[in-house]
Copies of this chain bind each other. A is one copy, B any other.
Amino acid sequence: MSLVVVGSIGIDNIETPTAKKENLLGGSAVYFAYAAGFFTKVEMVGVVGKDFPAEYRVLMQKNNVDLAGLEVADGQTFRWSGKYHEDINNRDTLEVQLNVLGSFDPKVPEAYKNRDFLFLANAVPAVQHNVLKQMKKRPKFVAMDTMNLWIEIARKDLDALLLEVDMLVLNDGEARQYTDERELLKAGRAILKKGPKIVIIKKGEHGALVISAEGNFSIPAYPLEVVADPTGAGDTFAGAIMGYMTAANAVDRNTLRRAVAYGSVVASFTCEDFSLGKLEKISRKEIDARFKELLDLAHIPA
């Protein structure tokens, strides 16, 4: 089985309270795809400029990511600069240069169009929808992420897209903003009424809450002594979830729960270094070991 993802590919400059790094590989599709690549073959649809470093292609390919859907457009790659606060759970965006992403018109390669698992990583809802429409048949499972900006300026498009997806992944602030509900349980239930069968609300260092008609599920974050850089944690969380489900070729309750636990594990590794720094150093073996630790961390003896 393989998994198709569309989303942003970027070059990031990131400042944390303890370090400052430039020209890092980033973007929602990149983080997602690299994480999913630990579990299954991933096919990435996205755009970069002619300046995109060849070594970043190699890095992705080495972890199971197919780049046939990676378009190289005239111009510069999308760039993002951010600065984290003393409390590393908060950050400010310092600069965004959309560059080639600004006119991104995704073209799904023919070979990808009959895939069963599709993830629409954070992007303009109309662009996400466009990709879904290019699929030859409706995939077995479609999931998506979004962000505060689209809830603000493209709510109608977001509502229309939500009617067609199985699962929405978003963070707690976004869930509250989208529904005007303070309590996440209420926010999640309000989103279920908009279409998806499953809502995953990311809570950063507090883990995530999964809300569905089949029952709710709470997953803790794997506790870390040091968080170097949380950029991409949410995207790798989603990537591991979808990667695990694709490999299992299943979307049932128990598969979803295990997938979300793997998501929490991979997201924790992401936080331990900048960009894909830590993920590059680990394999499925380290992920499985931490998955076992997470099982124990969350275990209530009946």
A binding-site residues for B, Cβ under 8 Å = 87-88, 182-186, 189, 203, 205-207, 209, 215-220, 223-227, 254, 257-258, 261, 294-302
Contacts and interface: CB of A to CB of B under 8 A. Distances in A.
Contact of A227 (B183, B224, B257): B183
Contact of A295 (B226, B294, B297, B300): B300
Given A206-B203, A206-B206, A224 B183 contact: yes
Question: Number of copies of this chain in the oligomer?
Answer: 2
A184 B219 contact: no
B218 A223 contact: yes
A177 to B, nearest CB: 13
B298 A225 contact: no
B299 A184 contact: no
Given A294-B300, A300-B258, A301-B258, A220 B223 contact: no
A224 B220 CA distance: 17
12 contacts: A87-B182, A183-B225, A184-B223, A189-B225, A203-B206, A209-B223, A216-B223, A216-B297, A218-B220, A218-B223, A295-B302, A298-B300
Contacts of A186: 225-226
A298 B298 CA distance: 6
A261 B299 CA distance: 10
Given A184-B205, A186-B226, 10 more contacts: A87-B182, A88-B182, A183-B224, A185-B223, A206-B207, A209-B220, A216-B297, A217-B297, A218-B223, A257-B301
B185 A257 contact: no
Contacts of A217: 297-299
A294 B186 CA distance: 17
A82 B41 CA distance: 55
A300 B216 CA distance: 12
B296 A257 contact: no
Nearest to A302: B295
Nearest to A218: B220
A245 to B, nearest CB: 14
Contacts of A224: 183, 185
A229 B301 CA distance: 30
Contacts of A295: 300, 302
